[in-house]
Amino acid sequence: MSSATASWRTWLTSRSPRSRRQAWLGQAYLGWLSLLRNPVALLGLAIVLLLVLTAIFAPLLATHDPLAQDLAKRLSPPGTAGHWLGTDEFGRDLWSRMVYGARVTLYIVLLVVATAPVFGLAIGTAAGYFGGLVDVVLMRLTDIFLAFPRLILALAFVAALGPGIGNAVLAIALTAWPPYARVARAETLTVRNSDYIAAEQLQGFGAWRIVTGHVMPLCLSSVIVRITLDMAGIILVAAGLGFLGLGAQPPLPEWGLMISSGRKYLFDQWWVATVPGLAIFVVSLGFNLLGDGLRDVLDPRSASR
């Protein structure tokens, strides 16, 4: 190990950080080292990174136009005429459609992550910090959403809004925020009576500054873990909406929609529905494995910390 590397490691692992940046980078470095000791979490991270890279480099990885039809080659088995995973009922290349389907999946995941956790975090921290009537009203509203299965509630929203990938994302986001609100509220209840919160109040800081500057950052680790573990459920709900014809619309290469179109040929041309089904399974497994690993790293009550 070079002297420069050793000095950086010493700086990152210092027990007396001299700045907030050093403390944050040191925590991130220790978390990364903990993650490296978990091979299952690394497998999940590799699968998630593979999904991201596949979505980014889809034009380079695809061997055919995912929308181009060739009826002369319809339902070709894997490995036939340059089609690695075969073709569907319209002669479209399944490998190319699966690769471009990663973009649709990642698009849905990113939009839901950018909306549902933020809204849930705001609701949960407000309920936990202010308490009283605010807590009662916000948590009863959360309970109403939690009373319905996510897929059923998403189906109701999409039925009201109309089919389409945009409305599907909105419906998933509207049904995904309650668990984040519950997590944020629980974390807020554990810190709202802390000494440093009382010190902030004595200095005259308002509730908005305390919640956004001190309470919300302390809830982020639990919310991040919850986001990672929820990704599999979000992908399955999106695929379910696509399967029922309420999500992405043809000819968009969305995995749930591909399974729906291939179920008619499941017994004779099994690859049409099996390929996108395996893609959903692998990606969901990757997010679950990564979420378990992040929970061990980010949970301050974990024995590994």
What b-and-e string marks burial along 105-125, b requiring 16 or more CB atoms within 10 Å of the CB? bbbbbebbbebbbebbbbbbb
**CB proximity list for 260: less than 8 A, separation 6 or greater:** 242, 243, 244, 245
The residue extents of the domains of the chain are 46-298
Contacts by residues 35-40 (CB-CB < 8 Å, ≥ 24 positions apart): 35/293, 35/294, 35/297, 37/304, 38/293, 38/296, 40/289, 40/292, 40/293
Which stretches in the chain have pLDDT values below 50? 303-305
Q: Could you tell me if 271 and 19 are in contact, meaning their C-beta atoms sit under 8 angstroms apart?
A: no
Provide the CB-side half-sphere exposure for 50 (13 A, CA): 15
48: CB partners within 8 A, 6+ apart: 283, 286, 287, 290
Residue 186: CB partners within 8 Å, gap ≥ 6? Answer: 124, 128, 222
Residue 304, SS3 per DSSP? coil
Residue type for position 296:
D
**Terminal-residue alpha carbon distance, the chain:** 25
Whether 58 and 51 have beta carbons less than 8 Å apart is answered as no
Cis peptide bond prior to 251, omega within 30° of 0: yes
Amino acid letter, 192: R
Core vs surface per residue 50-81: b (16+ CB within 10 A) or e: ebeebbeebeebbebebeeebeebebbeeeee
Bridge partners of residue 83, in order along the sequence = 80
17: helix, coil or strand?
A: coil
List, for residues 233-249, the tens digit of each pLDDT value. Answer: 899 999 999 898 888 88
- What homologous superfamily is domain 46-298 in, according to CATH? MetI-like (1.10.3720.10)
pLDDT at position 216, please? Answer: 86
Indicate the burial class of 145 (C-beta count within 10 angstroms; 0-12, 13-18, 19 or more). middle
